[in-house]
Amino acid sequence: MYDKKTLNSQKLDLRVGVFICRCGGNISDIVDIDKLKSSIDADVVEEFENLCSLNGRKIIRDNIINKELDRVVIASCSPITHEKTFQDYIQPLNPYLMDMANLREQCSWVHGDMDKATDKAITLVNASIEKVKQSQAVDPILCQTPESAAVIGGGISGISAALSLAKQGVKTYLIEKKPSIGGNMVKIGKVFSPVKLAEECGMCLLNPIMNETVWHENIEILTNTKVLSTERRAGNFSILLESNPRYVDEEKCISCGKCIEECPVEVPNRWDDGLSMRKAIYKPFSQSYPDAYTIDMENCEKCGKCMKKCPMGAIYLKGEKEIVPLNVGAVILATGHKTFDPNLRPEYGYNRYADVITQSELGRIMGVNGPTKGKLKMLSKDRVPRRVVMIQCVGSRDEKPDGHKYCSKVCCMVALKNANIIKHKYPDTDVIICYTDMRTPGMYEKYYKHGQENGIRLLRGRPGEVNKKGDSLVVRVEDTLQKKFTEIETDMVVLSTAIEPSQGSEEISKIMNVGITEDMFIKETHPKIKPVTTDVKGAYVCGTAQGPKDITDSIMQAHAAASKVAEIMNDGLEIEPFVAEIDDEKCNLCEDCISICKYKAMSIKDEMIYIDPMSCSGCGKCLTVCKPRAINIHGNIDEKIFATISGMLKGKKEGEKRILVFLDQVGYTAADNIGVNRVDYPESIYIIKVHSVNRVMPKHIIYALKNGADGVFIGEYPGDLMYQEVENKMNQIREEIKDHGMNPERLQFSNVYIPYFRGLANKFKEFDAKIGSMDA
């Protein structure tokens, strides 16, 4: 089956035109152009000094039209340099009916022997001719995404993302599980900016943004609502939402608050960290939106007293969950965080001693709308604490069970902020921060110094335990700089608890099948260069759902996510058409393709495999696991590779060595770099560019070796998502080569890196020498 490969093309007498570029001597100084021209079998063979110039375009176009060419080969520089140019120059032909033979970067710039370089050039052009004969006219797939987006999570990140999208004309649904938008920022009390060295009211900053969101006609806010399921189809998300009843009609309610006078049920107020009480009918906080009361049915006794009292008749006690369908073009995940449960560190006595609290609770106590109306008081006695000790890294930088290995990034700033606020209002209260490292990067350092000037004391040591001794609490810590075991007597202990993924983040990652990090945060595609995209195409992440960060960073990431959404909304999505397609007749629904695809392009819809062209990278890995061979890559890729191989092996002389090298975009760029830097390597090296080395099948490799290739070299960039798969595949293919009675050492697999071009050139030399020393 490998010996004879009938190459099928739709039209047998395709007219091919070859256009050779001298490149101002860059090519013609080494490659004998006349010999090249006379050795090529094509309908038109033209040469030109600078093919990429506008005059070159005229020559190409005139020939295509006058000589009725079906296919074009450009024999010039690297496609990486000029492929887009020549795709444009061959209009009216379809851009995919052209191929470039790389005579400059991979021939004239790396070889010095004119005869050998010319022979190689002939072979490269032949390979391109064979390849274009197999090309098909394909059009880019246009994905029409609806100009709408769902933002999941109504905290500061979600609000910022929604607002940014709405202002760009995108219809946005802001989905929030709780009865009001606002998120964690509502509870903080004060925020600060290190540049001003001042604390500002957080609500006063958040409220105008919330109002803007409420009033924006492109935003629909859905509170008491959570996501049940999402389904993705080429730039479309079909989402099912579960909307829970509020039991108060937000249209009728005028927020007069008469209902709460009547309600007999009192429960701890979660919006106040449980430090105050609220009724079963309540309003989360004064500025909450929707501006209406809500009933918490878990605690409501359904006595009906509030209904009787309500002057607007807004209250109803019978309500059903509603399932709401939603269809949008993109999703932004802004599901936020929660804080570490201090009960998991019993040694700090959080649940034993009333005066051991968290930074979040301290924020409520210091907040003017909090349980003490902004007065700092001990929870056990009605007096101002004489001393407050803050313990950093509670649950962060901690590899013990339930702890988190990461640093939560904001706790040092939060501790300094609350310490400063205490120092401003109660200068007589001593504040000691027990730290391991103070992490106040950038401008925050100024605020750190400002805190020290205010008399905040810092003790370097991580406390092991909080105890009670007589009338006060005792924090046990080693002052590591003094090398002294120390017991600090104090009235109050504040734990700086870690930021961890919220329950909502965990739920949504499961519902949408979005990848998560080892710490359970939603994982971005690449932490450096793709910081807001996720591994689900069309879904983006921002804020603390993605990792610990402060408000500023959350807002920045929200805007970044919104602009990524705007990219696909405004410009439409043009996708390279070389994606996988499935033959439902052959498919047996074994789902092997689903499990192998790292791009999550495959899913099952209506008893059929659905391949999402937006997600598919066209790497071809699914082909290798599909037993019934039901998958094919659009655009005749398989045949093109066979044709290129046979072209590369055409006219091989007695005693000549030919090594075929398959490189992806990264490897090919590295190979071009060898030429750009004029480093040489043997003429036996023939490079074939593939979209992904996964597209090179065992059958291609065997076919090459059977038909005269002396060796096959495959290079891949280790950062590629599918790298591991390729490595596993190579060993299998070596076995297969053995079965065909050939030396498995004729196949080489290697890592490639763009800057490491000299290394690649050396590998070519070594492989060439190795092949040369083999017998048969």
User: Which residues of the chain form contacts with other proteins (CB under 8 A)?
Assistant: 347, 393, 397-400, 403, 436-437, 460-465, 476-480, 483, 485
Nearest residue (CB) to other proteins, 371 versus 461: 461
> Using a CB cutoff of 8 Å and minimum separation of 24, what contacts does 583-590 make?
583/630, 583/631, 583/632, 584/608, 584/609, 584/630, 585/630, 586/628, 586/629, 586/630, 587/628, 587/630, 588/627, 588/628, 588/630, 590/627, 590/628
Nearest residue (CB) to other proteins, 461 versus 698: 461
CB of 391 to other proteins, least distance (A): 11
Nearest residue (CB) to other proteins, 131 versus 404: 404
Contact criterion met (CB below 8 Å) for 694 and 733? no
Angle between the N-to-C axes of helices 723-739 and 698-706, in degrees from 0 to 180, rounded to the nearest 10: 40
CB of 352 to other proteins, least distance (A): 17
Contact criterion met (CB below 8 Å) for 519 and 218? no
Contact criterion met (CB below 8 Å) for 14 and 98? no
End-to-end CA distance of the chain: 22
Nearest residue (CB) to other proteins, 398 versus 592: 398
Specify burial of residue 138 (Cβ count, 10 A radius: 0-12, 13-18, 19+). middle
CB of 480 to other proteins, least distance (A): 4
Contact criterion met (CB below 8 Å) for 713 and 705? no
Angle between the N-to-C axes of helices 54-66 and 79-89, in degrees from 0 to 180, rounded to the nearest 10: 50
CB of 462 to other proteins, least distance (A): 4
Angle between the N-to-C axes of helices 637-648 and 114-133, in degrees from 0 to 180, rounded to the nearest 10: 150
Nearest residue (CB) to other proteins, 397 versus 564: 397
Q: How many CB atoms lie within 10 A of CB 165?
A: 30
CB of 485 to other proteins, least distance (A): 5
Contact criterion met (CB below 8 Å) for 99 and 74? yes
With helix as H, strand as E and coil as C, how does 135-156 read? CCCCCCEEECCCCEEEEECCCH
Nearest residue (CB) to other proteins, 391 versus 648: 391
CB of 477 to other proteins, least distance (A): 5
CB of 399 to other proteins, least distance (A): 5
Q: Where are the beta strands (DSSP E) in 106-218?
A: 141-143, 148-152, 171-175, 190-193, 198-201
CA separation for the pair 529, 522 (Å, rounded): 16
CB of 465 to other proteins, least distance (A): 6
CA separation for the pair 716, 721 (Å, rounded): 11
Nearest residue (CB) to other proteins, 188 versus 477: 477
Nearest residue (CB) to other proteins, 342 versus 461: 461
Nearest residue (CB) to other proteins, 178 versus 439: 439
CB of 492 to other proteins, least distance (A): 19
Give the residue among 471, 492, 480 at the shortest CA–CA distance from 389.
492
Nearest residue (CB) to other proteins, 485 versus 758: 485
H helix count then E strand count, the chain: 21, 38
CB of 476 to other proteins, least distance (A): 5
CB of 340 to other proteins, least distance (A): 13
Nearest residue (CB) to other proteins, 149 versus 474: 474
CB of 344 to other proteins, least distance (A): 13
Burial annotation 96-106 (CB, 10 A radius, 16+ → b, else e) = bbbbbbbbbbb
CB of 498 to other proteins, least distance (A): 12
Element (H, E) at 328: strand 322-328
Nearest residue (CB) to other proteins, 186 versus 477: 477
Nearest residue (CB) to other proteins, 428 versus 518: 518
Q: Where are the beta strands (DSSP E) in 560-657?
A: 573-575, 580-582, 602-605, 608-611, 631-633
Question: What does the block give as tokens for 541?
Answer: 């992440």
Nearest residue (CB) to other proteins, 461 versus 620: 461
CB of 463 to other proteins, least distance (A): 6
> CA neighbours within 13 Å on the CB side: how many for 238?
6
Give the residue among 216, 349, 228, 232 at the shortest CA–CA distance from 289.
216
Nearest residue (CB) to other proteins, 437 versus 735: 437
CA separation for the pair 102, 31 (Å, rounded): 12
Element (H, E) at 431: strand 430-435
Question: What is the greatest pairwise CA distance in the chain?
Answer: 103
CB of 460 to other proteins, least distance (A): 8
The DSSP annotation for 474-536 comes to: EEEEEETTTTEEEEEEESEEEEEEPEEE-HHHHHHHHHHT--B-TTSSBPPSBTTTBSSB-SS
Nearest residue (CB) to other proteins, 216 versus 462: 462
CB of 406 to other proteins, least distance (A): 12
Q: For residue 282, is it left (φ>0), alpha (ψ between -120 and 50) or beta?
A: beta
Contact criterion met (CB below 8 Å) for 293 and 283? yes
